[in-house]
């Protein structure tokens, strides 16, 4: 029956969120019922080691037509969890939301209202962001750097409470990318994007799944995935350093002829040398970031492994 197809698909990546799921489920289903259009929720369990899968399966048992659960073999990361759900989403409007209740489900109605105005991507800006201090500042700085480097306009890149039209979702799925950043990809494909302001809450239970290392990796995905400007900056730095070194050599040559050989300044030399070695290693690492990702993409290993899908489709 065509009429049973959902209009709205909500995608929720879940990684060890057992304490948040019951309240999330209640608030999310209530918010969706209130909108009054056919909907579905696609949970992806991203290899949780707690009871998340059992809880999600129970939700599916409760509302089998509306709740679908994708179970990963192992942790593949938030963006891959969303990708897997995007592959299966059936709604014309696809909404992503975190499982930890930092994004209020009640805001979905506002995203949908903005989509109804004809936008194909609706981003969001967190009002009074509720995260630990250093993350808010680091994220703001990264946001500015990212906008400069990639040219992608997003006021608040980290907020995952967003809505996408089905055709944008299909284009995202079609890229088949492994190391990616979904909001940036969507912005790249969007013809008529907009942003709305949404509320933000502290994590309801549990801890953030991103430590400093995973955050750095995610930001590198974003930079390397959407621009080669970092490499070009390095080339320019290299050229500047070469130019000034040449001046220095010319000066020393003249000095040697006029005054004689230079013997002092040994430690100044070390200082300059260490600095340049630092620049060099950073450059090598930067190239490595690109090469590593190219390697990952060309091997064509599966991006994620689905153990089971719990759903009852007509
Ligand atoms: N998440 C996931 N896989 C991961 C890490 C996170 O599916 O490897 C989910 C997590 O369960 C949550 C969302 O992605 O629903 C956002 O994660 P988190 O709240 O830890 O990130 P933060 O809000 O601290 O940026
Ligand atoms: Mg969170």
**Spatial contact of 143 and 137, defined as CB atoms under 8 Å apart:** no
Helix (H) or strand (E) holding 12: strand 8-14
Q: Please indicate whether residue 102, judged by its CB atom, sits closer than 6 Å to ligand 1.
A: yes
Q: Please indicate whether residue 95, judged by its CB atom, sits closer than 6 Å to ligand 1.
A: no
Nearest ligand atom owner, CA of 83: 1
CA of 278 to the centre of ligand 1 (A): 34
pLDDT of res. 2? 47
In ligand 1, which atom is closest to the CA atom of 17? Answer: 11
Q: Distance between CA atoms of 72 and 80, rounded to whole angstroms?
A: 10
**If you take atom 13 of ligand 1, which residue's CA is the nearest one?**
98
Buried b (16+ CB within 10 A) or exposed e, 242-255: eeeeeeeeeeeeee
**Which residues on adjacent β-strands are paired with residue 8?**
39, 93
CA of 13 to the centre of ligand 1 (A): 7
Question: What's the burial of 288, exposed, middle or buried (CB within 10 Å: 0-12/13-18/19+)?
Answer: exposed
Using DSSP's 3-state secondary structure scheme, residue 261 falls into coil
Instruction: Find where tokens 């967190």 sit.
Output: 126
Long-range contacts for 291-297 (Cβ within 8 Å, ≥24 apart)? 293/178, 293/179, 293/221, 293/224, 293/225, 296/178, 296/179, 297/177, 297/178, 297/179
In ligand 1, which atom is closest to the CA atom of 16? Answer: 11
CA of 205 to the centre of ligand 1 (A): 12
CA of 124 to the centre of ligand 2 (A): 15
pLDDT of res. 3? 56
Q: Please indicate whether residue 129, judged by its CB atom, sits closer than 6 Å to ligand 1.
A: no
Q: How far is CA 120 from CA 71, 113, 116, in A?
A: 29, 12, 9
CA 147 from chain center: how many Å? 14
User: 191: which DSSP letter?
Assistant: S
**If you take atom 23 of ligand 1, which residue's CA is the nearest one?**
208
Testing ligand 1's pocket by substitution, the residue of 12, 14, 15 carrying the most ligand atoms inside 8 A of its CB is 15
In ligand 1, which atom is closest to the CA atom of 99? Answer: 15
Under-70 pLDDT residues of the chain: 1-3
Q: How far is CA 128 from CA 122, 178, 232, in A?
A: 19, 32, 36
Q: Please indicate whether residue 98, judged by its CB atom, sits closer than 6 Å to ligand 1.
A: yes
**If you take atom 21 of ligand 1, which residue's CA is the nearest one?**
208
**Spatial contact of 217 and 146, defined as CB atoms under 8 Å apart:** no
pLDDT of res. 4? 80
Testing ligand 1's pocket by substitution, the residue of 42, 100, 180, 219 carrying the most ligand atoms inside 8 A of its CB is 100
């Amino acid at each position: 029956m065509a009429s049973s197809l959902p209009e709205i698909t909500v995608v929720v990546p879940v990684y060890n969120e057992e304490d948040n799921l019951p309240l999330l489920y209640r608030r999310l289903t209530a918010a969706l019922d209130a909108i009054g259009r056919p909907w579905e929720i696609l949970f992806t369990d991203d290899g949780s080691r707690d009871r998340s899968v059992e809880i999600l399966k129970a939700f599916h048992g409760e509302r089998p037509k509306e709740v679908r659960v994708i179970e990963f073999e192992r942790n593949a990361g938030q963006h891959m969890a969303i990708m897997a759900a995007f592959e299966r989403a059936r709604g014309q409007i696809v909404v992503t939301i975190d499982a930890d209740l930092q994004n209020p489900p009640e805001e979905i109605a506002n995203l949908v209202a903005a989509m109804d105005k004809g936008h194909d991507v609706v981003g969001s800006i967190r009002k009074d962001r509720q995260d630990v201090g250093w993350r808010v500042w680091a994220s703001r700085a990264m946001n500015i750097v990212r906008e400069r480097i990639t040219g992608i306009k997003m006021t608040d890149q980290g907020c995952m409470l967003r809505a996408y039209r089905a055709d944008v979702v299909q284009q995202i799925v079609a890229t088949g990318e492994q190391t990616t950043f979904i909001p940036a990809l969507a912005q790249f494909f969007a013809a008529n994007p907009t942003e709305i302001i949404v509320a933000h809450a502290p994590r309801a239970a549990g801890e953030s799944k991103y430590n400093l290392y995973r955050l750095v990796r995610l930001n590198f995905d974003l930079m390397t995935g959407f621009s080669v400007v970092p490499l070009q900056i390095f080339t320019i730095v290299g050229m500047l350093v070469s130019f000034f070194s040449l001046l220095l050599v010319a000066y020393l040559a003249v000095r040697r002829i006029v005054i004689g050989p230079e013997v002092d300044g040994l430690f100044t030399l070390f200082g300059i040398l260490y600095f340049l070695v630092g620049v060099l290693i950073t450059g090598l690492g930067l190239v490595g970031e690109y090469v590593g990702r190219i390697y990952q993409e060309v091997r064509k290993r599966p991006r994620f492994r689905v153990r089971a899908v719990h759903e009852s489709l007509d």
